[in-house]
Structure 1
Amino acid sequence: MKKYDIAVIGGGAGGLTAAIGAVQFGAKTALIEKDPEPGGDCLHYGCVPSKAYIKAAKELRDAKKAAEEFGLGLSGAPDFSVVKSRVQDAIAEIQPHDDRKRLRSLGIDEYHGTASLKTKNEISIDTGETIYAKRIVIATGSSPMIPPIAGLEDISYLTNETIFSIDRVPLKLVVLGSGPVGIELAQAMSRFGSDVTVIDHSGLMEKEEPEIRELAHHLLSEEMTFMFNRKVTKAQKKAEKIGLTVEGDSGTTQEIECNALLIAAGRKPNVKEMGLEKAGVDVKDGKIVVNKKMQTSVSTIFACGDVTGEYPFTHAAGQEGKTVVANAVFGVKQSVDYTHTPYTIYTDPEVFHLGLTEKEARDEYGDNIHVYRSDARHVDRFTAERNKTGLVKIITDKKGAILGAHAIGTLAGDWMQEVVFAKQHGHKIKDFSSVIHPYPSHGEMVSKAADQYWQKRLFEGKVPKLTETYIKWLR
């Protein structure tokens, strides 16, 4: 039986970070991955292919808008095989960063197979091998959650794991779920030419600020149909179509038809048939329970990424993987902290989220907060590009420390990064006013929000009277 310092089960973002970090620090490391190549959901079925879809869809939308505005003729349907090729090319270019050959070159022993725990230190692989490790890291990710819908097993439906393999755009598409996965793909497919309807049991972007949520709903409604506070209770095959029974909160039902159904109703951690109970690993609500050190109920076993259900984003999994290395390899008792971890919903325009919302801040701090806003209509770059849709909202405590920052706008996930840096390193909102942004840039949205801090300090209250007196005295 081979013995290791660290054995990682799963080659997604969290698992790769843990494995590569461990081996680079000198730990004898093994990685077990069931798929042909590592990379996880993000590379093969999530972040990378979806962004390729989104980019291609935006180019088509922009081409149509430009043709109309400049009086050009544009006809015909897009060649969807080009879109599919783009997806595969993007995956192929990124794959070498994570492939088995590179892992071996780093000194990692990589195994191709499905793993399960035999004990708190032993892993059984379905190839017939068993390995021993002082520390085990579970990073098996998540998979699409399929809701209990009558007749669903009798139809062919899409998930994020299969939609990138389709050969043509469905004439009518129903998307079940309006979370980031569902809404991003819904907008992309609409721009490719599909008539899209989104159905959700709640509403759109309910974790976001009300004004951002409302603006996003208004803009997205121009490209697709929403059916909120509804659920699909039955599905059946109807010739070349799919028939769906949709039930509202009041119990009323209606029948709709589509050519394809995309299920994006959430994710479930991959914990089944892993032998967690044999090792004594606690699982609650289908998620592996971990402490802030990413340690499970068993001291020798850690977990990171979607399998914990904590923060289902690739960048968070990478952050957790680093925490695992610190604790599992060095025992430094480092804790993971999501306080400064942002996320972006990659619709067009993008929606950015960092920290507390205004409501959350008021619940925690009462009225001892300040809220600063800026609007894209007052930023020259947005005006010059004839796209004046966007806003920024920054929430601080009474001393100006950043509690939360939220935005919607073109590439908001990029130009809001300076706020992430500022929050993480303890800078206050006033500091943005002294940051020089190239003119004209989208980032002026942030500095204009910060300017309001000085406007309140310098032009309200006692300060204006004092400065007036001082100026008169100088004269």
Structure 2
Amino acid sequence: MTNIDYDIVVIGGSITGYQAALSATRLHAKVALIISADFSHNYNLNYQYILSEISQITQKYYNLANLGIYEKNIQLNPESLNLNKGLLYANAVAKNINQINSAENLAAQGVDIIVGNGQFQSAPQLSFTVNERRLYSRTYLLANGSHPLIPNISGLDTIKYLTLANIWQSLEKTTLPENWVIIGGVPQSIEIAQVLARCGCQVTLIVKYSSILPSLDAEIAKLLTAQLEIDGVRILTQTQVTQVRQIDHKKWVQAGNQAIETDEIFICAGQQPNLEDLNLPAVGVKWHQHRLVVNEKLQTTNHRIYACGDVLGGYDIQSIGNYEANIAVKNALFFPKLKVNYEFVPWGIYSQPRVAQVGLTEKQAKNQYSQKQVLVFKQYFKTATAAQIQAEITGVCKLVVLENGKILGCSILGIAAEELINLISLAISQNMKIQYLAKLSPIYPSFSEILMEIAREWHRQRINQNHTFSELLLSFFNYRRDWNL
């Protein structure tokens, strides 16, 4: 019988992999983290922080302009926004955060860090071989992330284009191209399209769906589309890109029946899981197209191998990856009883204004329940004092609930959306009904009052619809007034 080296071996240098290894070692497990020698797949260690910082910098300029605080000779253009300086600042923030999540810090906490490319072996028993060393573990966790998915477009292999793996390095080295075509409808393509447009670029965003983001609430998607168009992004929905060409130092994109001339093409159509070189078929791990096959406990078709994060397929969203890592690690180390439940896991888009969502959308709720059972409440940011003070009045908070007050979901477009959605996420996870939100006594002014106002509106509607109770209240106060006399 071969000795077991580890309780869990985490494969992948993604942020999700780092979080998984850290969680396991904090539970006093013996952990190894395999970091691929191919660092080209590690772009996701910092691009989300860069997007967040850059979008906030551009928003500060816009707020100053709207308030008339700009000097007369300053215009909103690439020079005034200075993308290069913004990237420099954002990269500094990213480096600080990456240092916190560094391999050195993990090693100091007891994680064995192994750098190299490896693969699974099935004989004589399940193991993972890296640097000619066989690692034997009770369980294994795939957290090795993904790389940009390149669509099958005629001529794409004959020209240069950018992806999430190289766009930031490219922007730091070259003058910002004036014209851009962005292919793909995912959160990152929306974020980057807006940043480039606010830096003075001409941007065309091409999406094959009827909406810029199919998983987003339809009303919020329309508001976000309107904001992007105000910022100067030209959006083509339900449009397929069939070919690209390079003609006289210019790139051409055939989108539907339109031929678009551009300086730069950015491909952001989704992610491809890093699965090819792991020898997964030999150990019975299956995947279909761009998705790894896992059950609700995040076990692959080999019950000793788990997976989490964007290696599963789908959007590359860190909040979901971290949630999955927590479930997978506990199931791998102990008895596999925990099941994933995405109903209370929030996600967002680093747009301006921010977009955040959790649970069911209005359409999903009405498909799952009868329309009479589903109630939708909205509160606009322009009514909030905090939004008025910060000149950030564009936005809406949309809460979807059942008649009994159970919260089904929430979609928000507006400043601090990422913070507000966390409160709703907590409420859903703890089965708190909407009436509990009315008990909030938020600091004034703060954006949390938006949630409190929605809860109050639910109370008002309940009272108004219950005619017997309304009449009872009227009779009670009439009696009290007469009695006091």
Give the TM-score normalised by the residue count of structure 1.
0.92
Runs of 4+ with >4 A deviation: 35-41
1:117 is paired with a residue of what secondary structure?
strand
Q: CA deviation at 1:41?
A: 4.3
Unaligned runs of 5+ residues in structure 2 are: none
State the partner residue of 1:192.
199
Mapping 1:33-48, distance limit 5 Å: 33-35=35-37, 40-44=42-46, 46-48=47-49
Q: Which of 459, 471, 475 is residue 464 of structure 2 equivalent to?
A: 459
**Structure 2 residue 423 is the aligned partner of structure 1 residue 418:** yes
Counterparts of 1:245-394 in structure 2, within 5 Å, are 245-247=254-256, 253-309=257-313, 312-366=316-370, 367-394=372-399
Return the letter of the residue paired with 1:426: N
Residue of structure 1 aligned with 2:97, choices 94, 97, 111: 94
- Name the residue aligned to 2:253: 244
Task: For residue 158 of structure 1, report the CA deviation from its aligned partner.
Answer: 0.7
Task: Name the stretch that deviates more: 128-137 or 288-297.
Answer: 128-137
State the match for 1:124 in structure 2: 129
d(CA) in 1 for partners of 2:447, 2:7: 48
Which of the residues 204, 216, 219 maps onto 2:224?
Answer: 216
Code of the aligned partner of 2:6? Y
Q: Map Cα deviations across residues 49-88 of structure 1 (whole Å, 9 max, x no partner).
A: 2212222322333344445x66633157144331231232
Task: Give CA-to-partner distance per residue, 1:267-299, whole Å, 9 cap, x none.
Answer: 111111210011111212232211111111112
RMSD across aligned C-alpha pairs, in angstroms? 2.2
Q: 1:289, 1:425 → 2: CA distance?
A: 29
Report the alpha carbon displacement of residue 141 of structure 1 after superposing the two structures with TM: 0.8
Go from structure 1 to structure 2 and tell me whether the alpha carbon gap of 1:385 and 1:317 turns closer, same or farther (over 3 Å shift).
closer
Separation (CA, whole Å) in 1 of partners of 2:194 and 2:264: 15
**Correspondent of 2:86 among 83, 86, 109:** 83
Structure 1 distance, partners of 2:460, 2:37, is 57
Q: Distance in 2 between matches of 1:339 and 1:242?
A: 43
Assess if the C-alpha contact under 8 Å between 1:42 and 1:48 holds in 2: no
Deviation at 1:301, TM superposition (A): 1.1
In 1, the alpha carbon distance for the partners of 2:446 and 2:425 equals: 18
Give the equivalent residue in structure 2 for 1:398: 403
Cα distance in structure 1, aligned partners of 2:142 and 2:205: 34
2:412 counterpart residue number: 407
Question: Take 2:461 and 2:84, find their aligned partners in 1: how far apart are those partners?
Answer: 55
Deviation at 1:455, TM superposition (A): 0.7
For 1:21-170, what aligned pairs fall within 5 Å after superposition? 21-35=23-37, 40-44=42-46, 46-67=47-68, 72-75=72-75, 77-78=79-80, 79-119=82-122, 121-125=126-130, 127-165=131-169, 166=171, 167=173, 168-170=175-177
Query: Match of 1:263, as an amino acid?
Result: I
SS in structure 1 opposite 2:343? coil
Query: 1:150/1:71 Cα in 2 relative to 1: closer, same or farther (>3 Å)?
Result: same
The offset of 1:458, in angstroms, is 2.7
Instruction: Summarize the Cα distance change of 1:36–1:288 in structure 2 as closer, same or farther, 3 Å threshold.
Output: closer
- SS of 1:353's equivalent in the other structure is strand
Q: How many residues align?
A: 467
CA distance in 1, matches of 2:64, 2:398: 31
Deviation at 1:129, TM superposition (A): 2.8
The answer on whether the counterparts of 1:36 and 1:112 sit within 8 Å (CA) in structure 2 is: no
Alpha-carbon contact 2:270-2:315 (below 8 Å) kept: no
Q: How far did residue 40 of structure 1 move?
A: 4.4
Equivalent residue, structure 2, for 1:176: 183
How many angstroms apart in 2 are the aligned matches of 1:147 and 1:36? Answer: 22
Query: What's the offset of the Cα at 1:42?
Result: 3.2
- Give the whole-Å Cα distance in 1 for the aligned partners of 2:296 and 2:375: 30
**In the alignment, does 2:448 pair up with 1:469?**
no
* CA contact 1:242–1:259 (8 Å) conserved in 2: yes
User: Residue 441 of structure 1: CA displacement?
Assistant: 2.2
Gaps of 5+ in 1: 248-252
1:394 aligned partner, one-letter code: L
Does the 8 Å contact 1:53/1:83 carry over to 2? yes
Change (3 A) 1:385 1:81: closer
Identity of aligned residues (%): 26
The CA deviation string for residues 219-246 of structure 1, in whole angstroms up to 9 with x for no partner, is: 2111211111112211122333211112
